[in-house]
Structure 1
Amino acid sequence: MFAKFRFATILLLCLVPQLASAWGDLGHETIAWIAQSYVSSTTSSTIKGILNLTQSDYIANVSTWADTYRYTSGGRWSAPLHFIDANDNPPSSCSVDYSRDCGSTGCSISAIVNYTSILLDDDSSSTTKYDAMKFLIHFIGDLHQPLHDEALEVGGNDINVTYDGDHTNLHHIWDTEIVEQLADGASAESFAKNLTASIKAGAYGWDVDSWLVGTTLNDTMSSALTWAKEANGYVCSDVLSAGVDAVEQGNLNGSYYKAHFDVARVQIARAGYRLGAWLNLIFTGKTAV
């Protein structure tokens, strides 16, 4: 399966440091539902054909598959593709450099490039396109979680924190707890409807027109790298703006959540909007419906 990413030994794959799954199920499914609001009828029917699905949640239905697959014996090779480990210096400086940060086993950016090219290739087999579609849907979501674009303390996995009285780690609360608190009990579909309405209204000062600037299939790596750099920037400005010691104190579901939840909100919205646009580009040649 996609040999270009399978040359690492099992030992190396077992040593891959990232442990958490970006956004958790709620986040990934919400991103997928948002994307479904922005795909054209042509894109929608093409995706359904590739995935052999007809139900209303045809993108959301497969949005978490890659997280399940990575923990199977046959899927360990895909673990490095969920992130890019930016070897920067937050909170003093944040940056993503592809040649520095994308390891020999691949990363989220190289994966997006690869699976996009597979879907664009008319000669790709139906089986190859099936897997490529599921991976691409997931990895575009992953790329927008700031700590999936960061190497410090294993992307925050080794930063111990407390959230709502539970002892966990910083990466996990950005994947799950902050998103769940933000959704306030809503399902992924309902949460996505609220965020889609906010996108269309330009709520929260969102400049939606800027979200697709530079997005092009002529240079897929540049597009993905732009999104990764944007997400990584939040590690300095928000996620770890006060340093590691600061987040290891207190209960983060209080003042920390209030100060930073908008980053999770805008990044989930951007991921869904961009995923829909990217799929439109692949199947219709233009981002808009």
Structure 2
Amino acid sequence: MNKMARRMIALLGVSWLGLSLIAAPAFAWGKTGHRVTGAIAERYLSQEARAAISALIGTESLAQASTWPDEMRSDPDPFWQDVAGPFHYVTVPKGTSYHLKNAPESGDSFTALAQFSKDLTDPQSPLAIKQRALRFIVHIIGDLHQPLHVGNGTDRGGNDVKLSWFRDESNLHRVWDSEMIDGELLSYSEWTAWLTAPLSDADVAALMISDPKIWIAESAAIRPGLYPDKSELSYDYLYQNMPIVKDQLTKGGLRIAAYLNQLLAQ
């Protein structure tokens, strides 16, 4: 696809993106990144968690489940149009730690994760509510490991930081959501295999942290270093930041597993 064609596609999507980003950052990781975290998680589920998940969504994989909350954003139901948008991010202003007071009225990733966890484990929840909860849990944990989804509250998670990526118009959030990952031309299964191959049992044990506030604090600590000192980005930015992308995808996947293993052990 040539540059003009890409720009035409971008122009056709302006109105939709503009509406979806008024209050919140855009998608985290993009489809490939989310599927990587879901696929990694699936490798480290306990038998109990695996059985519970299978009972809920059958043959649907966590890689499939991971992108569902983004795919549903155009659903006209008020839940999707008026409520769920802020569930994809949290706000942690510079020099602070996460606090509920910074969440929008309808909540954020942290509060939504808590509610969906209750929905998933409530014996009275209908199957459809449990399925929605599971898919959101997988997605939200992935979101919180994309550092720009722990926003500073000033630039919509880097969406307002306009720049060029290998000479094409872009913004910092988009670079982190998808452009660095998709530029590798790897499938999500290839990413998963390559990221998990070097992990030792000790690595896995150290990284499987189930506390959301720790994930948020880690992403907030990473975030300041992601802002470039120039507006034309290419190989040097990729070289400096791809190790962070790989680490965060790996952590996101392991922590989805850790969280579900703990939640579904009840």
**TM-score, scaled to structure 2:** 0.85
1:114-125 to 2 correspondence within 5 Å?
114-125=115-126
Which residue pairs with 2:206 in the alignment?
Answer: 210
Which residue pairs with 1:5 in the alignment?
Answer: none
Which residue pairs with 1:255 in the alignment?
Answer: 236
- TM-superposed deviation, 1:284: 2.2
3-state DSSP of counterpart to 1:70: coil
- TM-superposed deviation, 1:16: 4.3
Deviation readout 1:83-128 (Å, 9 max, x if unpaired): 012222xxxx4x3322332221200011111111111222222121
Indicate conservation of the 8 Å contact 1:16/1:80, yes or no: no
Do the aligned partners of residues 101 and 198 (structure 1) sit closer, same or farther apart at CA in structure 2, a change above 3 Å counting?
farther
Deviation readout 1:232-259 (Å, 9 max, x if unpaired): 11112x212x5xxx142x2x22111111
Which residue pairs with 1:140 in the alignment?
Answer: 141
- 1:68 counterpart = 2:55: no
Gaps of 5+ in 1: 1-12, 216-222
Which residue pairs with 2:98 in the alignment?
Answer: 97
- TM-superposed deviation, 1:198: 2.5
CA RMSD between the two structures: 2.0
Deviation readout 1:54-74 (Å, 9 max, x if unpaired): 25xx11112111012123222
1:9-24 to 2 correspondence within 5 Å?
16-24=22-30
C-alpha distance in structure 1 between counterparts of 2:99 and 2:199, whole Å: 30
Do the aligned partners of residues 178 and 14 (structure 1) sit closer, same or farther apart at CA in structure 2, a change above 3 Å counting?
closer
- 1:157 counterpart = 2:153: no
Which residue pairs with 1:229 in the alignment?
Answer: 217
3-state DSSP of counterpart to 1:162: strand
1:45-64 to 2 correspondence within 5 Å?
45-51=51-57, 53-54=58-59, 58-64=61-67
3-state DSSP of counterpart to 1:87: coil
Do the aligned partners of residues 260 and 201 (structure 1) sit closer, same or farther apart at CA in structure 2, a change above 3 Å counting?
farther
Do the aligned partners of residues 101 and 68 (structure 1) sit closer, same or farther apart at CA in structure 2, a change above 3 Å counting?
same
Identity %: 28
Which residue pairs with 2:3 in the alignment?
Answer: none
- TM-superposed deviation, 1:45: 2.3
Indicate conservation of the 8 Å contact 2:25/2:89, yes or no: no
3-state DSSP of counterpart to 1:129: helix
C-alpha distance in structure 2 between counterparts of 1:106 and 1:54, whole Å: 31
Indicate conservation of the 8 Å contact 2:91/2:98, yes or no: no
Which residue pairs with 2:7 in the alignment?
Answer: none
Which residue pairs with 1:264 in the alignment?
Answer: 245
C-alpha distance in structure 2 between counterparts of 1:87 and 1:224, whole Å: 17
Which residue pairs with 1:195 in the alignment?
Answer: 195
Which residue pairs with 1:218 in the alignment?
Answer: none
Which residue pairs with 1:79 in the alignment?
Answer: 85
3-state DSSP of counterpart to 2:164: strand
C-alpha distance in structure 2 between counterparts of 1:232 and 1:34, whole Å: 23
C-alpha distance in structure 2 between counterparts of 1:14 and 1:140, whole Å: 20
Which residue pairs with 1:27 in the alignment?
Answer: 33
3-state DSSP of counterpart to 1:192: helix
Indicate conservation of the 8 Å contact 1:96/1:149, yes or no: no
C-alpha distance in structure 1 between counterparts of 2:208 and 2:193, whole Å: 20
**TM-score, scaled to structure 1:** 0.79
- TM-superposed deviation, 1:143: 0.7
C-alpha distance in structure 1 between counterparts of 2:198 and 2:22, whole Å: 37
C-alpha distance in structure 1 between counterparts of 2:102 and 2:74, whole Å: 23
Which residue pairs with 1:41 in the alignment?
Answer: 47
